[in-house]
Amino acid sequence: MIWVAIITASVGCYLLKLAGLSLPQSLLDRPDVQRVAALLPVALLAALVAVGTFADDGRLTIDARVAGVAAAVVALLLRAPFLVVIVVAAATTAILRAVT
Amino acid sequence: MGWPEERASVRRDALGIAAYAGAFGVSLGAIAVASGLTVMQTCLLSLAMFSGASQVAFVGVIGAGGSALAAIPATLLLGIRNTFYGIRLVQVLGVRGRRVAVAAQFVLDETAAMVIARDDEREQRYAFWFTGVLLFIVWNVGTMAGALGGSAIGDTAAFGLDAVVPAAFLALIWPRLDDATSRLVAIGGALVAITLVPLLPPGIPVLAAAPVAVVAGLWRREPRSTT
């Protein structure tokens, strides 16, 4: 049964990925569709950022991750490159956890 | 920046993502085996499903003692956000026919983020394929290592890797937050998700941010010409 579930769920996930790429060109050419398409990743990824910062097992918490992401914001405001931003976030969170 | 430098910059960023994604792959592999999946099943899940959030959901249901079939809807629900990414990605990828079928497997949070972080279409395409293929390799090697090595692997939280995920996505959407509509959509999506975290199962709050983009996209008209 577990094999059936793995294969069914995997095929389903693949078809969901494929569906977005398979929208007809006539629809994609519409300006309103283009505006929504441009904003969708922004909304979803911003939600991922928020959940990744504050959610823990279905609850909202404030822990060392918040400090890490805050440090990342400072790095971004200072125009730090991507790798610096993520290392700053990891280091801030890890150091804070080590000392508390 | 010339094209070789731009490509090098894409590769650097993708390697950064691959580094922490690999660590999460190892951790997921170990959890999957501890939840009752075999090594083979864990590896097939990474190869065929290749979607971190969906795999975590699948393993979570099995680990909680749910039936294997009950894991299917939870997994698919989390896969829906990849459909939304696809609608954006298809506009830059310029793929047709058989290549669409290949590109589809690489539609992920990470590839979508790497694409929207960039403006130039050639760079966006390179970012999609390079990040997608690199993550596919690292993710599969990682989950296999985790499945085989089990509990020998340390806790990702100890290295602050759990803070890297939001920091990385924030860094990648940062260049897009240069206009008022995008900023409002980002803040709106984040608030909707945060509000729903205590009420809904993991993954659904993120998906609930999608209507914010739909409403904002249909609401805002192009700036009127002044002629």
Helices vs. strands in chain A: H and E counts, helices first: 5, 2
User: Is residue B108 a contact partner of residue B51, using CB atoms and an 8 Å limit?
Assistant: yes
Mean pLDDT over residues B100-124, rounded? Answer: 97
Q: DSSP secondary structure string, A82-94?
A: HHHHHHHHHHHHH
- For Cα atoms B74, B79, B84, give the angle at the middle one, nearest 5 degrees: 140
Residue type, B37: L
Which chain B residues are Cβ-neighbours of A89 within 8 angstroms?
160, 163-164, 166-168
- Residue of higher predicted confidence among B153 and A98: A98
pLDDT of the residue at B157: 74
Residue type, B198: P
Contact B103 A47 (CB under 8 A): no
The model carries a pTM of 0.93
Residue B150 pLDDT > 80: no
Please check whether residue B195 touches A, CB under 8 A.
no
- In chain B, the residue whose alpha carbon lies closest to the alpha carbon of A63 is B163
Mean pLDDT over residues B150-161, rounded? Answer: 70
Contacts of residue A68, defined as CB under 8 A and 6 or more positions apart, other chains included, come to: A88, A89, A90, A92, A93, A96, B160, B163, B164, B167
Which one, of A66, A95, A54, lies nearest residue B158 by Cα?
A95
Please check whether residue A61 touches B, CB under 8 A.
no
Cα–Cα distance for residue pair B44/B46, rounded to 1 Å: 5
Contact B88 A64 (CB under 8 A): no
Average pLDDT along chain B? 92
Contact B79 A16 (CB under 8 A): yes
pLDDT of the residue at B195: 97
pLDDT tens for each residue of B8-34: 999 999 999 999 999 999 999 999 999
- The residue among B38, B39, B88, B187 with the most chain A CBs within 10 A of its CB, best to mutate, is B88
Which chain B residues are Cβ-neighbours of A28 within 8 angstroms?
87, 90-91
**Number of other residues whose CB lies within 10 A of the CB of residue A95:** 15
Q: pLDDT tier at B223 (50, 70, 90 boundaries)?
A: low
Q: pLDDT tier at A1 (50, 70, 90 boundaries)?
A: confident
Please check whether residue A29 touches B, CB under 8 A.
no
pLDDT of the residue at B225: 47
